[in-house]
């Protein structure tokens, strides 16, 4: 049980591990120079704001040669258990190594796994990856998939070779949700330009949720706001996409939307607390 009051859970926070610690930010990511420069400072920020954060990296070694470290992610969670909920990452192209890493992530106490199909260059519904999803389901690991377009390598020749189609909710996420009904899935970001597909999956599949990261709320498509206020108010989670967006800035913008008072705590805290089994002092 947390011994401090939690007012929000940020379901989408990037940290850098392994080889990624030595990379410069993608020039598209215009993060504020005053943002925390290390993970200890990041933890302090979320404590100050009365929040928690789901942290993760992306292992894209097959495509780029750059490895992430699940051990480092686990260590961050262990160092700041009152703040960080840790997700691992697996390069799905690594075959048996990838499958073994699922078990290792569970042993490390990680709560889920982050995948980015466009950056990792794979179709999530490819049958070659079915065993991966089955294992995630067996170990009770939530899977977080990037959906929609991505700004990674935007403007580079050929978009850096990234295929945006791999971020489409239908058929990729819908197929997995149907084939693995015990697998809990989070679709990251309003999945523009396929956000209507995303909303349809959320309405149809009980095991699928979405986070609202990567966009300032004032830019949300109208249909996302409408469904957040009504039929899908229990399926949406706050996410900032830090360091793209500061969590406080996102929350301030979100409160300016015509969101019902009863819905605000659900999206900012309650839905994620239920999904991640977070019990705090205010639950007593």
pLDDT in tens, the chain (284 residues): 456 789 999 999 999 999 887 665 554 445 555 667 789 999 999 999 999 999 999 999 999 898 999 999 999 999 999 999 999 999 999 999 999 999 999 999 999 999 999 999 999 999 999 999 999 999 999 999 999 999 877 778 888 888 999 999 999 999 999 999 999 999 999 999 999 999 999 999 999 999 999 999 999 999 999 999 999 999 999 999 999 999 999 999 999 999 999 999 999 999 999 999 987 545 53
Alpha carbon distance 257, 154 (integer Å): 29
pLDDT at residue 28 in the model = 43
Partners of residue 144 on adjacent β-strands: 114, 186
pLDDT at residue 27 in the model = 43
pLDDT at residue 151 in the model = 81
pLDDT at residue 71 in the model = 97
Q: Cis before residue 243, ω within 30 degrees of 0?
A: yes
Beta strands 236-237 and 84-89: pairing type? unpaired
**Interacting residues of 97 by C-beta distance below 8 A, sequence separation 6+:** none
Q: Minimal CA–CA distance to 24: which of 54, 87, 66? A: 66
In terms of phi and psi (left: phi > 0; alpha: psi -120 to 50; beta: otherwise), the region of 59 is: beta
Q: What number of other Cβ atoms are within 10 A of residue 258's Cβ?
A: 7
pLDDT at residue 32 in the model = 57
Residue 159 gets which letter from DSSP?
G
- Determine the 3-state secondary structure of 113 from DSSP: strand
Distance of CA 203 to the CA centre of its chain: 19
Alpha carbon distance 165, 274 (integer Å): 31
Alpha carbon distance 65, 59 (integer Å): 9
Tokens for 198? 């995303």
Distance of CA 243 to the CA centre of its chain: 13
Tokens for 80? 């700041």
pLDDT at residue 282 in the model = 52
pTM of the full structure? 0.94
Q: Minimal CA–CA distance to 102: which of 128, 53, 137? A: 137
pLDDT at residue 35 in the model = 65
In terms of phi and psi (left: phi > 0; alpha: psi -120 to 50; beta: otherwise), the region of 155 is: left
Domains and CATH numbers, the chain: 8-276 (3.20.20.140)
Alpha carbon distance 108, 101 (integer Å): 10
Angle (nearest 5°) at CA 26 between 21 and 32? 85
Beta strands 142-146 and 51-56: pairing type? unpaired
- Determine the 3-state secondary structure of 57 from DSSP: coil
How far is CA 225 from each of CA 72, 219, 252, 256, 263, rounded to the nearest angstrom? 36, 10, 16, 12, 11
pLDDT at residue 2 in the model = 55
pLDDT at residue 79 in the model = 97
């Amino acid at each position: 049980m947390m011994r401090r009051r939690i007012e929000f859970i940020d379901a989408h926070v990037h940290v850098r591990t392994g080889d990624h610690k030595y990379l410069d930010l993608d020039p598209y990511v215009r993060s504020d120079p005053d943002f925390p420069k290390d993970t200890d400072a990041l933890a302090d920020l979320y404590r100050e704001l009365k929040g928690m954060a789901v942290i993760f990296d992306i292992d894209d070694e097959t495509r780029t040669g750059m490895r992430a470290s699940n051990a480092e992610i686990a260590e961050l969670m262990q160092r700041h258990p009152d703040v960080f909920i840790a997700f691992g990452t697996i390069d799905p192209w690594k075959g048996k190594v990838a499958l073994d890493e699922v078990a290792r992530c569970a042993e490390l106490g990680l709560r889920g796994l982050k995948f980015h199909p466009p950056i990792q260059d794979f179709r999530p519904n490819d049958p070659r990856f079915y065993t991966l999803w089955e294992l995630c389901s067996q170990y009770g690991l939530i899977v977080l998939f990037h959906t929609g377009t991505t700004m990674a390598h935007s403007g580079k020749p050929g978009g850096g070779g990234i295929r945006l189609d791999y971020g489409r909710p239908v058929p990729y996420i819908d197929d997995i949700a149907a084939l693995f009904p015990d697998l809990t899935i989070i679709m990251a970001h309003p999945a523009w330009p396929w956000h209507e597909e995303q909303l349809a999956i959320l309405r149809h599949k009980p095991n699928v949720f979405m986070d609202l990261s990567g966009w300032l709320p004032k830019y949300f498509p109208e249909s996302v706001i409408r469904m957040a206020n009504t039929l899908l108010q229990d399926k949406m989670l706050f996410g900032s996409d830090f360091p793209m967006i500061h969590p406080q800035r996102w929350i301030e913008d979100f409160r300016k939307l015509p969101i019902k008072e009863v819905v605000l705590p659900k999206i900012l805290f309650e839905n994620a607390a239920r999904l991640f089994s977070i019990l705090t002092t205010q639950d007593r």
